[in-house]
Chains A and B, each alone.
Chain A
């Protein structure tokens, strides 16, 4: 079960993910990322409330990496719990995605660009 909320702060899309992302709920994450990437502005994702993410959920993030890069859309994730962070790190996603600790840091990076 996952609860995904999209809000707009200035020019940035803030996606807040709360709960668990497994194969079935990854579709909701995909919908949120799809609409946010179509919007064209920067995307910041709040993962403070994310307790668990399955490989299918990770697959959704991965499938947007290329597209967002080509569209030159800023994509930042923040607030991961240690267990979730470990999953991202093991997979090596920390090397190719912007992962920061909190919202302020994320917004700061966003504004710099």
Chain B
């Protein structure tokens, strides 16, 4: 059964019960008056009155929600409104009897009883709804004991309903005993008033007003009930029922005690409100970071909450690396005046950012000799152990700040510091993430600078592989066919590592591609490249390169070494490896025409099965765990073993051999390896 259905059913049951109660009661009167011989149980109206009460109780139990710190006043407002409506009903009944005071109709027992039934309905609605609301308020912040006690009270009230079936009269001994028993219960329960503490000053006044007005309703109902009772025409008198009396007593007791307690709590409510505000401010400060607010917003919250926490008249917040001063109720000139008037040593240190970190709470609050402000709190804002700023709170009254206030400010400021620290950490992490992302992009860009595929020709096969130690590196290789049958291959290594090397490598590529098309000899290329690089490389950067020109028509290999690691050349006919180590100087080392004196070009004729191995120093300078250098010797030994393989196989096996030499270590430098194998059999 849903909540809604329960409410509707109980409403229907209540309405029906009341109708039946009124009907049977009036019928009984009718029977009595005309002495009809109808066998009708006298208990019927009683039973329906009871079901009416129970239905109303059920209705309000479901209708009125649990007490919550935000709806106390709503609950009291409900009592007030229900009371108002029912009281108006009751007033109309009184009006009827007032108007027809001298007419026979107002003396007729049936009329009297009918209107009494209406009044009973109204009174019970008011009593039960108020009873349920009082219950909600009492059981706000319930304990096990309280729940047991309340349960007992409700059962006792239920018991009193059965007791009422025996037709006891008001003020008889039994009646009084039961009433006193129930009343003492009500009294004990009435001291559960925790909800009052949660009302603010204004709400407290309102609740006093609502309860007082409800008291008037109660008085009015009692008056009206006794009026009816005094006619002695009633077949069922509500005043003779212990249950109703007990509820009246309970409602009056709880209302009375509530009013008294609320009144006594009025003066202290501002303190409670203040504490609550501090807690909320504190929460705001600690939450200002996860919600992605900026440092300045945190300072704003800190400034405002600190001011209200210590009732400061003015305040300002200065940051060490920021000329912008956050201020409240104080202008720039006044801030400077305050600054000059601080004469306490530790306060002076703090306000001029010379705080040494030796913090003690009693040092931060001091008096001030100033025309307007007499008290000052200077609180350092510490982030990561160093002073980040200062919070200054001012009061026009002397000795206005006490120890407790300073403690609150200390907590506020340290919370703000944590927030700001977190904020810096988060932004640093984001920044870092961004750099990583940028580097990834740089890596893709650089990979696209290296040729994805090298030229092919029947005379040779060439393969190359490059690897950067960091995301980007300074190694470069490329090949361009400058005219039919003439291929230019370059391998280079930019000094340094990482991004700066990568930029220079990109410049090298630009220079290679523009100069190679001039179709000059390798020496010319190197001279022009040096001149070009001399203008754009920073002073301490240089590039080593080897330039090879393969003329497939003349079967010649012409090369220049510009300070680069000497390439290995394997000659099939002699079965020997020679180093192509002609003299040369790195590009960018000499930035004038003197450089050209150091460029030496050499030419050799290639034959079938010859191998050219070019590489960068990442390979020869590799060291194993024993700190042993791989060196040119290591590379030579490796090449000799694989001369019968294809270029691709040679490259792979050389890298494998190097890895065997390194063992578990990884190559931590940029390296490039290129293998060119000549085959003159295919291109007669």
Contacts and interface: CB of A to CB of B under 8 A. Distances in A.
A23 B540 contact: no
A36 B590 CA distance: 21
A31 to B, nearest CB: 13
A93 B589 contact: yes
Interface residues of B, number: 25
Nearest to B543: A55
Contacts of B542: 55, 58-59, 62, 91
A91 B562 CA distance: 7
A59 B540 CA distance: 4
Nearest to B493: A55
B554 interface: no
A113 interface: no
Given A83-B629, A92-B598, A23 B497 contact: yes
A59 B496 CA distance: 8
Contact of B496 (A30, A55, A90, A96): A55
Interface in A51-66: 55-56, 58-60, 62-63, 65-66
- Is the interface on chain A under 10, 10 to 19, 20 to 34, or 35 or more residues? 10 to 19
B629 A63 contact: no
B206 to A, nearest CB: 72
B563 interface: yes
Interface string B595-632: 00010000000000000000000000000000001000
Interface in A83-101: 83, 90-93, 95-96
Q: Binding site of B, secondary structure by majority: helix, strand, loop or mixed?
A: loop
Given A56-B496, A58-B495, A91 B540 contact: no
B544 interface: yes
B550 to A, nearest CB: 23
Contacts of B540: 30, 56, 59-60, 62-63
B605 to A, nearest CB: 26
A90 B562 CA distance: 9
Nearest to B497: A23
Given A63-B539, A83-B629, A92 B496 contact: no
B586 A92 contact: yes
A58 B585 CA distance: 13
B581 to A, nearest CB: 8
A96 B590 contact: yes
Interface in A5-57: 23, 30, 55-56
A62 B589 contact: yes
Contacts of A63: 539-540
A110 to B, nearest CB: 23
Q: Which of A60, A83, A92, A96 has the most CB of B within 10 A?
A: A92
B538 to A, nearest CB: 8
A86 to B, nearest CB: 9
Contacts of A66: 590-591
A91 B590 contact: no
A73 B446 CA distance: 41
Contact of A96 (B493, B541, B562, B585): B585
A59 B583 CA distance: 19
Contacts of B541: 59
Nearest to B541: A59
B496 A95 contact: no
B83 interface: no
Among the interface residues B495, B564, B629, which one has the most CB atoms of the partner chain A within 10 A? B495
B584 interface: yes
B598 A95 contact: yes
A50 B26 CA distance: 121
Contacts of B137: none
> Which of B584, B586, B598 has most chain A Cβ within 10 Å?
B586
Given A23-B497, A59-B496, A96 B589 contact: yes
Interface string B353-389: 0000000000000000000000000000000000000
A60 B583 CA distance: 22
Nearest to A30: B540
B492 interface: no
Given A56-B540, A59-B541, A63-B539, A92 B495 contact: no
Contacts of B121: none
A56 B670 CA distance: 14
A26 B115 CA distance: 108
A71 B586 CA distance: 23
B14 interface: no
Nearest to B566: A90
Nearest to B669: A54
Contacts of A90: 544, 563-566, 581
B232 to A, nearest CB: 111
Contacts of A58: 495, 542
Contacts of A95: 583, 585, 598
Contacts of B585: 91-93, 95-96
B496 A23 contact: yes
Given A55-B542, A59-B541, A60-B540, 6 more contacts: A23-B496, A55-B495, A56-B495, A62-B588, A90-B544, A93-B585
13 contacts: A56-B497, A58-B542, A59-B496, A62-B539, A63-B540, A65-B590, A90-B564, A90-B581, A91-B563, A91-B586, A92-B562, A92-B584, A93-B585
Interface of B: 493, 495-497, 539-542, 544, 562-566, 581, 583-586, 588-591, 598, 629
Interface of A: 23, 30, 55-56, 58-60, 62-63, 65-66, 83, 90-93, 95-96
Return the 5 tightest CB-CB contacts between A and B, nearest first. A92-B585, A55-B495, A59-B540, A63-B540, A63-B539
